[in-house]
């Protein structure tokens, strides 16, 4: 059994007295794991990580790191953070920025120099080190944001959208970096909308919806789980007994047994809804996410 590294207990956060960004969120994070926080826009993911980083103060609740209260644990210097929409001043050169961040981390000159060379080689940023940020593409800017999280050794890496806008080679590089740091015992919390990407690297996922955690699970078990049948229709069948959700302008429903599949096909036939496609898949994170969100919204609408 892995050790609990972070215990998040009953966090609540309301912005401006009315926007309930987090509602009683509790979550354990284990030493050495990669946890993916997934949720729709505005679900509360960034708020949760900002509270972890003490950038946002919660209304109530507490966070323990290695069983100590956050502010007394002295862990703040051991956290690397890639913020969402990472930016630096447009005229600042990448090298100047990384050197500055290295100095803030307390590294000496030669350590900084060595780290910058190593990291920029890994992330293929060498040619860009002496160019100002305004000449950077979206992906290069993100690489620079990732580079600053790698200047020192940290216990916890909090990465808000670490791959959105990266090309496939850079995405693989980022995955390799995460895996090698994980092998050294580092823990990761990653916010991402790129579910097919996060699936490749995360050990567990937590789905956050309208400020609440609605499902937590192991990615491995999910992907090796039993197959599901996916039935796709061109229109919303409006069958309340089946959970159809919209996907790329089509309507999808997943069932897990041949019996359910037959019942579903019967119901569609009786309602004169044409089936566009049927496939058999193992569940992926995106399907599970959409099913969970849909089921929660149906429940909320009933209440």
Q: Which residues bind ligand ATP (CB under 6 A)?
A: 15-16, 19, 21, 39, 41-47, 84
Is the Cβ of residue 58 or residue 237 nearer to ligand ATP in the bound state? 58
Is the Cβ of residue 45 or residue 143 nearer to ligand ATP in the bound state? 45
Q: What is the 3-state secondary structure (H, E, C) of 52-71?
A: HCCCCCCCEEEEEECCEEHH
The Cα–Cα gap between 118 and 95 comes to: 13
Is the Cβ of residue 109 or residue 138 nearer to ligand ATP in the bound state? 138
Is the Cβ of residue 47 or residue 254 nearer to ligand ATP in the bound state? 47
Residue 142 CB, shortest distance to ligand ATP, in Å, is 15
Cβ-contact 267, 218 below 8 angstroms? no
Residue 73 CB, shortest distance to ligand ATP, in Å, is 23
Is the Cβ of residue 47 or residue 120 nearer to ligand ATP in the bound state? 47
Residue 86 CB, shortest distance to ligand ATP, in Å, is 13
CA 216 to chain centre: 13
SS3 72: helix
* Sequence-separated (6 or more) residues with CB below 8 Å from residue 63: 6, 7, 8, 9, 11, 51, 52, 69, 70
The angle subtended at Cα 61 by Cα 35 and Cα 46, nearest 5°, is 45
For the chain, the residue count is 303
> Could you tell me the CA-to-CA distances from 150 to 55, 79, 159 in Å, in that order?
21, 11, 12
Residue 213 CB, shortest distance to ligand ATP, in Å, is 12
Residue 124 CB, shortest distance to ligand ATP, in Å, is 27
């Amino acid at each position: 059994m892995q050790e609990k590294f972070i215990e998040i207990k009953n966090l609540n956060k309301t912005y401006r007295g009315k926007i309930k960004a987090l509602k009683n969120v509790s979550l354990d994070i284990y030493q050495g794991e990669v946890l993916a926080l997934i949720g729709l826009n505005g679900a509360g993911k960034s708020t949760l990580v900002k509270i972890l980083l003490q950038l946002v103060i919660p209304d109530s609740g507490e966070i323990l790191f290695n069983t100590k209260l956050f502010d007394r644990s002295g862990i703040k210097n051991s956290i690397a953070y890639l913020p969402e929409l990472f930016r630096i001043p447009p005229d600042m050169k990448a090298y100047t920025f990384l050197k500055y961040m290295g100095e803030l981390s307390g590294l000496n000159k030669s350590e900084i120099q060595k780290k910058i060379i190593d990291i920029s080689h890994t992330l293929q940023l060498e040619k860009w080190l002496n160019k100002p940020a305004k000449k950077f593409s979206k992906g290069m800017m993100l690489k620079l944001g990732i580079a600053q999280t790698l200047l020192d050794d940290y216990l916890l890496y909090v990465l808000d959208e670490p791959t959105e806008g990266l090309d496939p080679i850079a995405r693989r590089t980022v995955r390799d970096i995460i895996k090698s740091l994980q092998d050294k015992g580092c823990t990761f919390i990653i916010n991402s909308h790129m579910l097919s990407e996060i699936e490749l690297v995360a050990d567990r996922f937590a789905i956050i919806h309208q400020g609440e955690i609605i499902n937590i699970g192991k990615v491995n078990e999910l992907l090796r789980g039993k197959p599901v049948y996916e039935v796709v229709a061109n229109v919303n069948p409006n069958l309340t007994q089946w959970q159809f959700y919209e996907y790329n302008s089509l309507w999808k429903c997943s069932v897990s047994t041949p019996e359910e599949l037959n019942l579903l096909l019967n119901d569609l036939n009786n309602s004169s809804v044409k089936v566009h496609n049927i496939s058999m898949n193992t569940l992926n994170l995106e399907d599970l996410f959409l099913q969970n969100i849909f089921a929660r919204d149906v429940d909320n609408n009933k209440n």
